Amino acid sequence: MREGPDGQPDIRPMAEFRQGGRKALSKAGRIAARLVAAMEGRQLRPGSRLASIRQGAREQGVSKNTMAEAYERLVASGHLEARRGAGYFVSGRPSRPAGLVPAARREVAEALNLVSLLREQTEEHYLVRPGEGRPPPSWMEGSELARHLTQASRALYRGEAHGYGSSWGYAPLRERIALSLAERSLPCGPEQVLLTQGANHALDLVIRHLIAPGDRVLVDDPGYYPLFAKLRLAKAEILGVRRTAAGPDVEHLAAQLARRPARAFFTQSLAHNPTGGTLTPAVAAAVLRLAERHGCLLVEDDPFADLLPAAGPRLAALDGLRQVLYVGTFSKTLSASLRVGYLAGPAPLVAALNDLKLLTVVSTSQYAERLVCRLMEAGHYRRHLRRLARRVEAATAQALRDLAAIGLPLARPPGGGFYLWARLPPGLDEEALCRRAAAQGIFLAPGAVFSPERGAGPAALRINVAHAGDPRFLDFMARALAAGA
């Protein structure tokens, strides 16, 4: 194999790469294949450091995202090791015997690449966490709710909580949720409510049931990145709809729908993740008209509903659950570990989703659902929400002051959730910033991952208000902004 000018193997893309007449590999696949060949031919030996993503992308004539995907594929296959702050190195571990472990399907590899940020939120390698998606555990453990959680869990050791239970979920909790939805001007019966293992499970059921390979699907841009991964796994065609301070860009949505029909539009109306914005009543009405005209189902994810005003402009409330599926969760406001969520919609569609739930997971946790229901019945959950809302309000105000003081002034988002969307000044490299932060133990959430076309939008960070005041983060950002890089 030829060597490049830096003495490393020349892995410039081949014009074509075919095996046994199969379809040509993607750009990332071709780069990964050349690197594997270099390792097997001993041109790249164990411990060798590869070019940085930036340098490799420049040499290959590809985007940094493509180069990163090639490296991540090889990390997943065991060929490379990623060392935080140092780069990528050829693994010293023995390679797996050929054919013993099948390669991940392309859609699986793409989906895993999209949830790399989510992986850090579950593994928690970093001490400083402004990129975190959840409130800090201390906000839950230190609240009055902790005492009641213990008492309620003891009571649940008796009775039926240890059986499968109905695939629909714990009936009294479904009734409680139906009452909560009525308070949001969203009247529905318990037969229209299906309990799930959090909002992500609800979205997964919807995608499995409704989206076929090749279906065109619309999403917020920027939007909820785990959703993008699920849609990639389903082999859907994903198109973004620009997100404005007032909600989805109605003109852009109209243009996307006019170009070719879309099966569904997945959106967050209130306290939008990642921008914190909330759609206006006028935008909500326009979105509903467009969806009805083009026969497009709306899937509305409302993870912060319990913290927000009941009268907020929700699409499901304006529509009456005719053409909208509504998704909620207790994970953002009660505990991420409980994994209790729900979806509500037209009764026949919800019944079909319940059949799919039965087929895939049988049922959800009776124990967790009874626990949530008991906290709601006794009024403990409402008191907890009032305290949590005050904490979010105070943390948001402090975060805005701290960020303005270091040269990053932001407008207060109208949504009321956990997030600030910080556009970075021109010339500040988002990827380089996040890599330097990681080397210092700081977990950032880069704006690129929140776009279905990664890196297409302006450089930005999603900042969790609960973690924004950490002096290590503020000091790092102050130095980065001052240096302009």
206-249 residue pLDDT tens = 999 999 999 999 999 999 999 999 999 999 999 999 999 899 99
Q: What pLDDT does residue 162 have?
A: 56
Q: Which long-range contacts (CB under 8 A, 24 or more apart) does 3-8 make?
A: 3/43, 4/59, 6/51, 8/44, 8/48, 8/50, 8/51
Q: Two tokens at 373?
A: 């229901």
Band of the pLDDT at 336, cuts 50, 70, 90? Answer: confident
| Helix%, strand%, coil% for the chain, nearest 5 | 45, 15, 40
In the predicted model, is pLDDT for residue 411 greater than 80?
A: yes
Band of the pLDDT at 285, cuts 50, 70, 90? Answer: very high
Q: What pLDDT does residue 278 have?
A: 94
292 with 306: CB under 8 angstroms? no
- Nearest CA among 198, 178, 179 for reference residue 338: 198
State the Cα–Cα distance between residues 79 and 39, nearest whole angstrom.
8
158 φ/ψ sector (left φ>0, alpha ψ -120 to 50, else beta): beta
Residue 130 exposure: Cα atoms within 13 Å on the Cβ side: 28
Q: What pLDDT does residue 26 have?
A: 75
C-alpha distances in Å from residue 356, one per residue of 23, 347, 366: 33, 14, 18
Q: Two tokens at 441?
A: 């133990």
Widest Cα–Cα separation across the chain: 72
300 with 267: CB under 8 angstroms? yes
Average pLDDT, the chain: 84
Domains of the chain: 1-103 (1.10.10.10), 123-138+385-483 (3.90.1150.10), 141-380 (3.40.640.10)
Q: What pLDDT does residue 80 have?
A: 87
Entry pTM? 0.76
Q: Two tokens at 227?
A: 């959703």
C-alpha distances in Å from residue 198, one per residue of 176, 201, 335, 388: 16, 6, 10, 19
Phi, psi torsion values for 184, nearest 5 degrees: -95, 20
* Cβ contacts of 300 within 8 Å, gap of 6 or more: 267, 268, 269, 314, 315, 316, 324, 325, 326, 327
